[in-house]
A and B are shown apart, each in its own frame.
Chain A
Amino acid sequence: MSTERNPTNDLTRMSEPADSGEIERVRSLTEQLRCLVCQNQTIADSNAGLAIDLREQVVKQVRAGRTDTEIKQYMVERYGDFVLYDPPFSTTNSVLWVGPFVLLALGLLLVWRSVLHRRRSPDAPSQPSADQHAQLQILEARYQASTTAVSAPSRPKDSAK
């Protein structure tokens, strides 16, 4: 229930927790939670009012014996996955998780293809395609037919001879 009171002296009490395990848990949890007000800080780092309140909340719940998962769930219910520094995979962020690998695969595919292409290319010029072959024959025929300087416009160097 939301009506329970959260005394402001929680902070002073939190500076002397019962055992070091508790301190460790509070520290680890608050370092995994984002401060919503100052978005690039954890609630452990931030001194924004809300971050202080949420730290108190973590202390209270650790004391009450709630598990880490339960405490994180409590935060996610209220502030969404954004509150977690390590958000879970979901449909909305799937592009972010999967996208880089898709791009990497695409890049590798392109590199692989261009390498293959380059390996084949040294032989390529010596073997004109059927189309080029036909064109070549026409040009040669024209060249032989014309003994004068008039020649096919596509081979100006030949005509200069």
Chain B
Amino acid sequence: MMRWVRLGLPLLIFTLLVIVLARGLEFDPRHLPSARQGKPAPSFEVPTLGSDQVFSTESMLGKVWVINVFASWCTACVIEHPKLLKLSQRPDFNLIGLAYKDEPAATAQWLRQHGDPYRQIALDLNGQIGIDYGVYGVPETYVINPQGVITYRHVGPIDDAFFDQHVAPLMAAKP
């Protein structure tokens, strides 16, 4: 009995260590957990692109909505853009763009070139809204529930599972 413990215990510890370290290899250190997830979305009210309207987060209360942080200088944004264009065909997909630290003229030019999936485009000229949301890499996408709470934050280009896993369930839960 004692002998099995002596032989088995180091083997067990070694195996556990291998499993833990192997899992660690899969983590991307660039993907940080969002400090804002599960917290109320910071409110803001800013001018929008191409109109004299003002976008206010309060106007979105009661709806499931998504903020997509993008910029014309952001190369990875081009990757996810077709997915956003496709999703924007759904009438219930409230997609708001946040043009992050970008010249409005450059944003407009970029959207003419790649297509415009957004309902409205809020202008974050100096990146203050980005700081308030904890944006550290563009593109980032935030899902906000009808109560105004951030339920999910995605860093980098969204994948195919994004809508089904993080937006659709919220919409289904809504009465």
Contacts and interface: CB of A to CB of B under 8 A. Distances in A.
B126 A5 contact: yes
A150 interface: no
Given A2-B42, A57-B131, A76 B126 contact: no
Nearest to B57: A2
B131 A54 contact: yes
Given A39-B30, A78-B134, A79-B32, A4 B128 contact: yes
Interface string A51-76: 00110010000000000000000001
Interface in B84-124: 101
Given A39-B30, A53-B127, A2 B132 contact: yes
Interface stretch (B43-51, B60-68, B158-166): B43-51
A53 B101 CA distance: 11
A2 B43 contact: yes
Contact of B134 (A5, A8, A57, A80): A80
Interface string B51-87: 0000000000000000000000000000000000000
Contacts of A36: 32, 136-137
B34 interface: yes
A2 B35 contact: no
Contacts of A1: 43-44
Interface in A14-73: 36-37, 39, 49-50, 53-54, 57
Interface of A: 1-8, 36-37, 39, 49-50, 53-54, 57, 76-80, 82
